[in-house]
Amino acid sequence: MAASADTSSRLDLSARVADGSRSARRLRRTGQVPGIIYGGVGGPVLFAVDSRILRNTLAHSGAILEVAVDGGEAAPVLVKDLQRHPVRGHAVHLDLLRVDMKVAIQTHVTLELTGADLAPGVIEGGVLSQGAVEINIEALPGDIPDALHFDVSKMEMNDTV
């Protein structure tokens, strides 16, 4: 089983004062994604970020992001929740959790199975069934992998992990 953690990416955010669904809809119409940063030191901070910048940053980042609100000091955060539009699939809201890089946290990591086409059990006509798609782990924020990869290419019929 191999795991790799990517380096963090920086994301610049704009603070927003207005809260509620009405102001969030206005932001979305202008191509912005509303969000909130909470946890750790300090109170919750409402923000907005351009949807294209957010999409690009999330596609090329690891588990931890460095965010700066209105050009302030960058702080490490973990993407706690990303809500997507049910039909279009674009981001509609983002929750970020402040983290201390020296304190272990619990989070979910995607489990990806590799080598399924080469597994003797599958070649013999068996079906590979993946019961868990995510695994709960505890690790330092800098050591959290994007995904855990497990090689199943040697699995025979009726083998379990």
139: left (phi over 0), alpha (psi -120 to 50) or beta: beta
Cα separation, 62 vs 8, whole angstroms: 6
The per-type count for the chain, helices as H runs and strands as E runs, is 3, 10
Q: Distances from the Cα of 87 to the Cαs of 45, 58, 80, 91, in angstroms?
A: 28, 20, 22, 11
What was the pLDDT predicted at 153? 92
* Residue pair 9/49 in contact by the 8 Å Cβ criterion: no
What was the pLDDT predicted at 69? 94
What was the pLDDT predicted at 158? 87
What was the pLDDT predicted at 8? 61
Domain boundaries defined on the chain: 2-98, 105-151
Say whether domain 2-98 belongs to CATH 2.40.240.10.
yes
What was the pLDDT predicted at 18? 82
Q: Distances from the Cα of 90 to the Cαs of 26, 46, 74, 151, in angstroms?
A: 16, 20, 26, 32
**Hey, what amino acid is at 140?**
L
Whole-structure pTM value: 0.78
Cα separation, 7 vs 159, whole angstroms: 35
- The mean pLDDT values, 10 residues at a time, for the chain of 161 residues are 52 89 92 94 92 91 88 91 94 95 91 91 88 91 89 90 79
